[in-house]
């Protein structure tokens, strides 16, 4: 078990609907994520990326196959055991505003992440402030509400909320797609820094190859629920084998906004 991948997915299938109206969204997907690595899952809308992310965190139940976390099969886990195992894999959502209760402060949201049963800001104040500062948010953010923050600030809070439980794996689902280009670059710089400082293990879901090129160790390309290409980032970008991967690469704009070299503000 000591050498097991952080996440190992085997022959994963996900089907939506019933009877004649069923749609198979994932077709026998295999995926390994080594500890400390970032694996990018890339594909256009409808490729099955978000369904895979939901299956990894237990929101969607597979119709076949298995998901192992640290060598333990969690596919059939139930009750308290399932909750315990699933806390080891945390999702950073695409739209943090919809995942934050507008009636609760940021401090309350983070306290609930630490202890869902007995959320208490006072008990976890120091830890909450520490994580806010880790994502470059001021300590007084604990008293603010989601609508008082910008999109980039809410995404930083979502990152802090995902990491505060110290998960074994982080699933980042299109976390920059709803942001302006300049803010995307700031969030990517933050993720790169946290990867190094915290030794994060991450599955990074994106449709944008310009983004994942700068953040991933390995790349998996999904097309209509099938893995059509998989390899190190260097291999996939230098010599893509599948025509779909080549089409995605040809569509990448040369946007300077995706330069994630540390800015003066970020390293200050």
Say how far residue 248 (Cα) sits from the centre of its chain.
Answer: 21
Is the model's pLDDT at 140 over the cut of 50? yes
What CATH class has 7-88+168-267? alpha beta
For the segment 41-57, the average pLDDT, to the nearest whole number, is 91
For the segment 67-91, the average pLDDT, to the nearest whole number, is 80
Is the model's pLDDT at 93 over the cut of 90? no
Residue spans of alpha helices (H) in the chain? 49-57, 79-86, 96-99, 106-114, 125-134, 151-163, 181-198, 209-212, 233-238, 243-250, 264-267
Say how far residue 170 (Cα) sits from the centre of its chain.
Answer: 5
Which two three-digit tokens encode residue 226?
């099938």
pLDDT tens track for 187-226: 999 999 999 999 999 999 998 887 888 789 999 999 999 9
pLDDT confidence of residue 1: 54
For the segment 95-109, the average pLDDT, to the nearest whole number, is 88
pLDDT-based confidence at 2, cuts 50/70/90? low
Give the global pTM.
0.87
Asked whether the beta carbons of 204 and 212 are under 8 A apart, the reply is yes
For the segment 16-34, the average pLDDT, to the nearest whole number, is 91
pLDDT-based confidence at 254, cuts 50/70/90? low
pLDDT confidence of residue 122: 79
Report which of residues 252 and 2 the model is more confident about. 252
> What's the angle, vertex CA 236, arms to CA 158 and CA 11, rounded to 5?
70
For the segment 28-38, the average pLDDT, to the nearest whole number, is 95
For the segment 251-257, the average pLDDT, to the nearest whole number, is 55
Is the model's pLDDT at 182 over the cut of 60? yes
Considering the chain, what percentage of its residues have pLDDT values greater than 70? 92
- Alpha-carbon distance of 251 to 265, in angstroms, equals 31
pLDDT tens track for 155-172: 999 999 999 999 999 999
- Alpha-carbon distance of 187 to 203, in angstroms, equals 16
Is the model's pLDDT at 87 over the cut of 90? no
Is the model's pLDDT at 268 over the cut of 50? no
Is the model's pLDDT at 176 over the cut of 80? yes
126-130, 132-136, 182-186: least confidently modelled range: 182-186
């Amino acid at each position: 078990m000591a050498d097991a991948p952080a996440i190992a997915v085997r022959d994963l299938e996900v089907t939506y609907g019933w009877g004649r109206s069923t749609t198979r969204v994932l077709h026998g997907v295999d995926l390994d994520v080594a500890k400390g690595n970032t694996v990018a899952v890339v594909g256009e809308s409808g490729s099955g990326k978000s369904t895979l992310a939901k299956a990894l965190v237990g929101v969607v139940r597979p119709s076949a196959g298995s998901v192992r976390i640290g060598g333990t099969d969690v596919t059939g886990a139930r009750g308290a055991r399932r909750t315990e195992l699933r806390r080891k894999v945390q999702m950073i959502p695409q739209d943090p505003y919809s995942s934050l209760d507008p009636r609760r402060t940021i401090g309350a949201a983070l306290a609930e992440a630490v202890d869902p049963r007995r959320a208490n800001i006072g008990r976890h104040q120091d830890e909450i402030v520490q994580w806010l500062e880790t994502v470059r948010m001021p300590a007084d953010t604990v008293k603010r509400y989601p609508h008082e923050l910008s999109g980039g600030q809410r995404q930083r809070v979502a990152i802090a909320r995902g990491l505060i439980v110290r998960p074994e794996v982080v699933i980042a689902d299109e976390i920059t797609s709803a942001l302006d280009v300049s803010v995307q670059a700031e969030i990517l710089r933050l993720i790169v820094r946290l990867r190094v400082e915290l030794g994060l293990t991450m599955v990074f879901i994106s449709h944008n190859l310009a983004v994942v090129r700068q953040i991933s160790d390995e790349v998996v390309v999904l097309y209509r629920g099938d893995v059509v290409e998989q390899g190190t980032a260097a291999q996939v970008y230098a010599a893509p084998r599948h025509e779909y991967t080549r089409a995605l690469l040809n569509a990448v704009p040369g946007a300077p906004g995706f330069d994630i070299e540390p800015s003066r503000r970020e390293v200050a």
